[in-house]
Amino acid sequence: MDMNAHTQFCGVIGNPVEHSLSPAIHNAAFQKLGLNFVYLAFPVEAIGDAIKGLRALGNFRGASVTIPHKVAAVPFLDAVDPTACHIGAINTIVAEGGSLTGYNTDATGALRALREGGVTLQGQHVVMLGSGGAARAIAFALGTESGINRLTLLGIDERERTALARDLQSKTGLAVQASPLDDASLEQALPDARVLIHCTPMGMSPNVQGTVVPASLLHTGLTVMDIVYNPRETRLLTEAKAAGCRTVPGLEMFLHQAAAQFELWTNQAAPTEVMRAVLESRFS
């Protein structure tokens, strides 16, 4: 595709962005559908100035927003999608007729990954480990769109954990139980849980031997999703497979949050197989 004065551009805004896989994924998808779009990486420190600059450019269509700007970007937008508003963070900007709207496709991406993995959420008991940004996004998606029965939230940071539980209960009405993340609380929560979602950095490269879940607590009735995608199969996922659990790798959530972004910018169905192939080539 030749770029010209009509080429629309998207990009990732964050610091650092050198290792981002987003340009490779999105450019492959644009190319596949023959769209006159390009996706760039923007290392940004002053988020307000960056958004003001992007507003001034006529061909700006949207952005992925990553660490450390997911919360800081919000005040500079014209509108924020209701789920992203509850979460208090965005990871996507869409420019439409001079107006900028924020979305959070981490939420959408997690639910899509679970559903595509054949997981039934309706009426289930879900256990979530961690209470940071990604956990907030997934928890609100579960609370507003999934029909789960109850959520057990286990996290290290007491302030963060109790704030998330309180926000979820008041904004979604979901039954939430929050406790410290330790072996005792895992022993209590996991036997009757159907879905376990791991949202802490434990097990991420280079500390690939890390896991917060004793293998003895994993059981065949459990589906385990790990949002860590590097390595592609974490120790938690390896042990879950060995215990007969259904598993959903973090790569799937990463893929589906990117696909949801692509659809917001282009109004076309994302070519997820092409995007998956690009991702897998980076982690083979």
How far apart are alpha carbons 137 and 122 in whole angstroms? Answer: 18
Closest to 119 (Cα-Cα) out of 27, 18, 23, 256: 256
Q: Is 63 left (phi over 0), alpha (psi -120 to 50) or beta?
A: beta
223 beta partners: 195, 246
Residues of 122-138 as b/e, b for ≥16 C-beta within 10 angstroms?
Answer: eebbbbbbbbbbbbbbb
Per-residue burial over 155-194, b if 16 or more Cβ lie within 10 Å, else e, is beeeebbeebbebbeebbebebebbebeeebbeebbeebb
Which position among 52, 70, 171, 241 bears the catalytic label?
A: 70
Is 70 noted as a catalytic residue in this protein?
A: yes
Active site residues: 70
